[in-house]
Structure 1
Amino acid sequence: MRDEFVDLVSRDLRRVRWAEPAELRARARRRSRRTAAATAIAVLAVASSAVAVAARPDPAPTVAGPMSGFDSPGAELPSIVLLSGSDLPVRANIQLGDIGLGEPVRVDPLLETCAKANGVPLELVTSRYSRSRNLLQASASGQDGTGGLPVLAQDVYRMGRAGSAQVFADLDRYVRACASWRQTTPAERDGLSGTVSIQHSWQVVERDFAGDRSMLLRHTEAPAPSPQVVQPTAGEDLRAVVQVGDLVTVLAPQGGVRNRSVPLVDGDELRALGRTAATRMCAITSPPC
């Protein structure tokens, strides 16, 4: 569901995240409207590549109870805290969103899967309130609804400062364990059964570029050296995590490209969006900036 189709089928294949069932269930619970858009695009991607992948069952990570000593009185998150299409460097004229109560803080479910596979205990921090938004670009024909190309996903979580610190500490632990991870998944293409093997790597490429604390995560993937039914190509994606007071936001560009090779949202633009998001959060954090 990440890239353009036809000319970019190979990029679609390497963008497939081989999502675990637990991840899919979590997304379905709190992003039902956003999932409608992503599902339609994913169906097109599968049709164009004729690839079917069987995800391996994996127990869901442990979710920690609400952190004691919340710094804020428990105010909900107004929609103004989220970025809008006008903030983005490219056109994004479809907006989908959801709200949550007592949801776990999720930065990168695939990174969580890698960390667990490498023996790192997972205990997700629970937020008090959360709000999500998915910004999409409508097709040139003016089609709306679920026909848009995903551009950026954003989650904002309200929690105590102890919970915010734990989110960043956990990310550092996960990244240390996942500097290099090979994922092999059963796959089928054109009636042939086999495997897809991808070499993953995560790095923290920058810190403290926005808000009270921030982190820019880079995930790279490349085909592992082995015969396989599907041969994915190399690629990378970025995520920004920004904290302001008792709020944490996760910004995830959705992998689309412009001019056939330039990402819809590149690293410099993602940093700038992180600073914009920090300014928005300042107005409603407790205490205010």
Structure 2
Amino acid sequence: MSCCFSLIFRDPPCHTIQPLDRLSWETGQGSRPPPAQLHAPKYGFNQSCHLEFCWGRRCKQAYYDWSENVPFSHHETKILRVETREVEYKIKTTWDSLQVMHTPVTIKFKPGDQGLVMEVSSLFFDDPPAPSGKPGEPFDGLWDYEVVESFFLNSATRNYLEVELCPHGQHLVLLLSGGDCLEKGLALAFKADINGGIWNGTAIIPWNYFPPGIDKMNSYAIHGSGIGRTYEALYPIPREEIEEGQGPNFHRLEYFEDFSLKEIMGDDWNQPPSDLWP
């Protein structure tokens, strides 16, 4: 099928290229973006450049290299080779499908040698106050503080990994199955900084923390206290499915959506085995 997306040229040598209003990609089943066949109007591309594709809540940045240094013609199709990839998500809704009223939290996933790189950029709400734990260390109950979380699920086994990151530097990693916690408080390389009302954090999630066969993901952001406590979700529960008296529950696995590590690491990459999962 053909899908439409916006494209942004990010870095030199692309800054000299005339912007494209719209492109399309040819895909098979599912919603995966390139690598694929891009059909472009007749603008010239020279060698390689960094591009950004955006669709829905997701953006994907990639370094593309054209095998032939020739311009596109109107009817030509070129096969592009992806050298590096990253996927970006923006949390634009609350858990119950209302639009957030601030700049959305941004989460990026990037390739790493020892694990998946997770980057967070968010407004710093400074509410509630910082946890009492030491920055850089696990903190049990971190979900009661200001936090951004990502969950990685194998939908067949219902095994999943939960990673919680706090602007003050604390973190919490949990291994779960069907909602039951198997292990928590695993070590994590994570650093965060707060600057000008924005906090940024980078974590490297070791490969052996991921259950085999990850195919779904959801991400969340929490801040505020008391009646001002706000729960935001990348993939929320639709309004029509919310029952009277229902509250936020981030372990509703049926609302997770498709996710592939190969989309980030490359089609030839295979997930390393883990001794933490059966």
Q: TM-score when scaled to structure 2? A: 0.23
Higher strand share: 2
Decide which structure has the larger Cα Rg and report it: 2
Q: TM-score when scaled to structure 1? A: 0.22
Higher helix share: 1
Larger relative contact order (C-alpha < 8 A, sep ≥ 6)? 1
